[in-house]
């Protein structure tokens, strides 16, 4: 059997680079090989004069979260190493010199929501589905979401989003500032490109330093996240959550 398509598509439009997550078998779930390819694409962009990046997904979805089918963690040490590698991508997104615009269609949940909220501007289709949902598999939000989500919607609303797993439509998300702009289905990429081309025409220095300023505190948050999530990976509840997800059943958590 041929391996499923898992790649990052790159399209340069002048000073703007479009990076498309393409893993249709899992609605663009953020598998570790896909993360590594996205890291490579971002590093290459910083070396080739790119002035703005649009991040999107193929097949009518942004990203359905982490790839649970490949989430085999054997203990805390293994979990810490997984988070170290994951945070390399988070830092590249958050601290890069060029602005990022997310074009969100379909599912944008879990790690997908984390990546979208690292971006400077989030354009979402009106019928997109955005949510956290990490607790369903016995894990806490990661990839910087405990830092970026309260910045967008406030601590009280962020707490509810992270604890109750509600998914928001694009229209609902715009109403609470979870996204910046809502557009008709199928138009997210078109509008995101308009925003990215505008940003690419601005002086790059102020944009880069503004991004750095707004991300102050993220490094410390990621270090705490790394310790906490690594511990959770090693729990029975996390193993049960992942097994339940793959078996399409409700998990039975025991607090162990």
User: Residues 208-255: pLDDT tens digits?
Assistant: 999 999 999 999 999 999 999 999 998 999 999 999 988 999 999 999
Q: Using an 8 Å Cβ cutoff, are 150 and 129 in contact?
A: no
Per-residue pLDDT, averaged over 54-63, amounts to 98
d(CA 233, CA 230): 5
Count of residues making up the chain: 256
pLDDT tens sequence across 82-131: 888 889 999 999 999 999 999 999 999 999 999 999 999 999 999 999 99
H helices within 30-169, ranges in order?
A: 32-47, 76-95, 111-118, 145-153, 155-164
- Tokens 């089918």, residue located: 69
Domains in the chain, ordered, with CATH? 7-186 (3.90.226.10)
Return the CA Rg of the chain: 17
**β-strands 168-169, 129-131 pairing:** antiparallel
| Pairing mode of beta strands 121-125, 100-104 | parallel
């Amino acid at each position: 059997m041929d391996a499923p398509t898992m790649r990052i598509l790159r399209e340069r439009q002048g000073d703007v680079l479009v990076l498309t997550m393409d893993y249709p078998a899992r609605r663009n779930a953020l598998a570790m090989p896909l993360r590594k390819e996205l890291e490579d694409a971002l590093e290459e962009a910083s070396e080739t004069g790119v002035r703005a990046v649009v991040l999107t997904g193929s097949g009518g979805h942004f990203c359905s979260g982490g790839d649970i089918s490949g989430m085999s963690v054997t203990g805390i040490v293994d979990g810490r190493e997984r988070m170290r590698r994951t945070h390399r991508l988070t830092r590249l997104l958050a601290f890069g010199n060029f602005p990022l615009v997310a074009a969100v269609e379909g599912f944008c949940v879990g790690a997908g929501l984390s990546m979208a909220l690292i971006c400077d501007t989030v354009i979402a289709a009106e019928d997109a589905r955005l949510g956290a949902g990490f607790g369903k598999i016995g894990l806490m939000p990661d990839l910087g979401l405990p830092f970026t989500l309260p910045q967008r919607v406030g601590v009280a609303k962020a707490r509810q989003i992270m604890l109750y797993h509600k998914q928001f439509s694009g229209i609902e998300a715009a109403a609470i500032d979870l996204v910046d702009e809502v557009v008709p289905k199928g138009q997210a990429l078109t509008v995101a490109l308009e925003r990215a081309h505008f940003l690419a025409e601005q002086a790059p220095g102020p944009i880069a330093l503004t991004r750095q300023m707004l991300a102050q505190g993220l490094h410390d948050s990621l270090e705490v996240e790394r310790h906490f999530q690594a511990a959770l990976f090693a729990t029975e509840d996390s193993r049960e959550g992942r097994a339940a997800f793959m078996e399409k059943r409700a998990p039975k958590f025991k607090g162990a």
